Amino acid sequence: MSSTYGTLFKISTFGESHGPAIGVVIDGCPAGLPFDTDFIQHELDRRKPGQSRITTQRREADEFEVLSGVFDGRTQGTPIALVIRNTDQRSKDYSHIAGQFRPSHADYTYQAKYGSRDYRGGGRSSARETAARVAAGAVAKLLLQQQGVQVQAYVSQVGTLKLEKPYQALNLPLAEENAVRCPDPETAERMFQYIDETRKRGDSIGGVVDCVIQGVPVGWGEPVFDKLHAELGKAMLSINAVKGFEYGSGFAGVELYGSQHNDEFYTDEQGHVRTKTNHSGGIQGGISNGEDIYFRVAFKPVATIMQDQDSVDVHGQPVTVSGKGRHDPCVVPRAVPIVEAMAALVLVDMYLRNKVAQVAGQQTEKEAGLL
């Protein structure tokens, strides 16, 4: 089971939803980075359960501990180990499905692949694992901030309710001022009521998280298989409940002619090459072009609902699965920091890869007598 992501900036997450703890080991973080514990905890607080009545009522402080890799407030260039203790497990809530397969969960596929599964909250397949990603993503954000790169995600859709404004017309920091994490207050209130009504019916609803990345210079990303947008897509699709990813004009771009879709170049007053439009979403040929990078991530309705559903047990016999436990009626409000974290992990890895490539190129030129 692969639990590692990254090439130079690597993370390996561990732990289960109802185990003693979850955590992450970060390998490849440069030495000397100021390790802002308050910022990392703030990022975890944005993801933690129990934030409002439209999120799971599991009560976890999600306070992290540093086991290695940090000394005197700075990273040491050695593996950083972070652990988050689980304190509010209610494993008995899942005893009734020990031998049953919940519809649209990973129960059946894990059982078929491994011959066993941790049925307590989904074990390793639980979205609880994403807390470790957010912790690692916070460290990546600290490194990106030194490069002037900012990552901001927000909720743009819940069910059929859509925020129609483009990100340029929004005050994105306002997303953190409401429980839904939508930067438009009026739409946020309507989304909150939508989710709450869904919760009261014992049902769930999906949504969309948009992400905007600003400050990425030209040149991040690898050609062919490790294209920047391909890595972003992989990272987003690795998040629980994600069903779709698009960047730039995305699927809507098919409705345009090439003459409408092409991003024409010009040189600005500072002598920088820019594009008049940004249908490319800040990426061309798999490499950043200096414009804003933006993408959308679609999340399905949470699979666990407080209604009876038909299924089968481990013997293939028909059963009725009854929903119990504490679950989000809509995952997108808490998914915002997860999307940001995964984007940050992709970007910091690409930054380091680009840095290595530049050093290698300079060395080659030096050896050739060109420098």
47 is in an annotated binding site: yes
74 is in an annotated binding site: no
339 is in an annotated binding site: no
4 is in an annotated binding site: no
62 class by beta-carbon count within 10 Å (0-12 exposed, 13-18 middle, 19+ buried):
buried
301 is in an annotated binding site: yes
248 dihedral zone (left: phi>0; alpha: psi -120 to 50; beta): left
241 is in an annotated binding site: yes
Q: What is the DSSP string of 301-354?
A: PPS--SS-EEEEBTTS-EEEEPP-S---S-SHHHHHHHHHHHHHHHHHHHHHHH
344 is in an annotated binding site: no
90 is in an annotated binding site: no
Query: What is the C-alpha separation between 18 and 21, in angstroms, rounded?
Result: 8
Q: Where are the beta strands (DSSP E) in the chain?
A: 4-5, 10-15, 21-27, 64-68, 70-71, 74-75, 80-85, 150-158, 161-162, 207-214, 242-247, 265-267, 273-275, 283-284, 287-288, 293-299, 309-312, 318-321
Query: What is the C-alpha separation between 244 and 156, in angstroms, rounded?
Result: 14
125 is in an annotated binding site: yes
20 is in an annotated binding site: no
Q: What does the H/E/C string look like for 114-147?
A: HCCCCCCCCHHHCHHHHHHHHHHHHHHHHHHHCC
What is the Rg, in whole angstroms, of the alpha carbon atoms belonging to the chain?
Answer: 22
201 dihedral zone (left: phi>0; alpha: psi -120 to 50; beta): alpha
Query: What is the C-alpha separation between 318 and 341, in angstroms, rounded?
Result: 40
Q: Are 244 and 233 in contact (CB under 8 A)?
A: no
53 is in an annotated binding site: yes
Q: Residues within the annotated binding site?
A: 47, 53, 124-126, 240-241, 285, 300-304, 326
Q: Residues within the annotated binding site for FMN?
A: 124-126, 240-241, 285, 300-304, 326
Q: Residues within the annotated binding site for NADP(+)?
A: 47, 53
